Amino acid sequence: MSWNLLREAFLAVGMIGVLVLSLWGITGQMPPLVVVESDSMVHNAESGEVGSIDAGDLILVHQYQTTKVITFAEASQPFNRYYDYSSHGMNGDVIIYEKNGKVGTPIIHRAILEAVPSLTQAVNDSTECNTSVYDSSLEACILSWDVPGTTLRNVSSISWVFDGNMTGEYDCQRNSQFNHGEVGMTQFLTIENWKPQRAGFMTLGDNNKCSVDQGWSPSKGGVVGATGLFDSDGMGVDAVSRNHLVGIAGGEIPWLGTVKLMMSGNGSPGTSQVPGASWGWLFVSIASVLALPIILEPLLNRIIKGSPEIAEAEQERNYAGRLPDNASSA
């Protein structure tokens, strides 16, 4: 291997290292990026949409430990301090989390509302809670809930309709490209008697109509007709606690994650859910990166040759070339 080739390899690795460290400094997370694998957040399945989250996008992952997660309920409630806050094309933050804290591909969905403990009772173990919920992170029984962004305070279960009446409007038929548990689903996102089993967030993919990740069951309530998600052990996903968060979705780098999806294994949908137009934009992006040095090099050479310093040096060389061999400078 020649020294020049080795030098170029070290230079490439060094540039990648600097980029990763820079992103780490910006996000406070490692790894600082995730690749979106599914179309559960897509807003336009055919052409994709810069600003929303499509399969094949790279998403910056911001730390959550010192950052407030703003829910759809808070961002869409008039007079709320977070009113009109939006992220990736809709009100509220998009969060990245592990299903029930289990190992597996993280989920990247929008935080709809947060169940916050209102009345609690400290206990030694879960057997003392009887009919109330035991939260191991609090080491307490949760007797009632508050829901920021709504008027719900000190309630034993959570029921709320996002119909635009003193709250945000969430239309269950908005832009959805496929059916995720439509049976029994209402026009607006309607939560009925939800009894979360721990403090945390109710979450929903923008393209999943109103089929919240927490689903529906007669005993725990939720959203009627929602199929919900399941962890690696086959258990239904419950409220997303902060302990299960990977981070908060930040900036988007469109299309480039498609390259990684092309090399994904059997456990991934691969490129099947990437919007059709993303392939064209990916090709244009790669072609632009490859063509840029070819275009810039002659332009830079022309600019450099036209600089006064280069012209002066050229004149000195020409002058020196005309001097006799035995001439000496004073």
CB-based contact 185:204 (threshold 8 Å): no
The pLDDT value given to residue 28: 56
DSSP state at residue 315: H
> Which amino acid makes up residue 180?
H
- pTM of the prediction? 0.76
For residue 296, give both structure tokens.
């810039």
Q: Which residues contact 26 (CB under 8 A, 6 or more apart)?
A: 32, 60
Q: Find where tokens 């439509």 sit.
A: 182
Q: Which stretches in the chain have pLDDT values below 50? A: 27, 177-184, 327-330
Q: Which positions ≥6 away from 322 have C-beta within 8 Å?
A: none
327: its two tokens:
């001439």
Q: Which amino acid is at 222?
A: G
Residue 246 has a CB neighbour count (10 Å cut-off) of 18
pLDDT of residue 329: 43
Peptide bond into 78 cis (omega under 30): no
| pLDDT for the residue 202 | 97
Of 209, 200, 211, 278, give the one whose Cα is nearest residue 239. Answer: 200
Scan for tokens 């009446």, then name that residue: 165
**Closest to 257 (Cα-Cα) out of 24, 28, 37:** 37
Q: What pLDDT, on a 0 to 100 scale, did the predictor assign at position 180?
A: 46
User: What is the per-residue pLDDT across 63-120, written as a single tens digit (0 to 9) for each?
Assistant: 776 789 999 999 999 999 999 999 999 999 999 999 999 988 899 999 999 999 999 9
Helix (H) or strand (E) holding 3: helix 3-27
**Using CA atoms, how far apart are residues 22 and 227, in angstroms rounded to an integer?**
40
pLDDT at 250 (0 to 100): 84
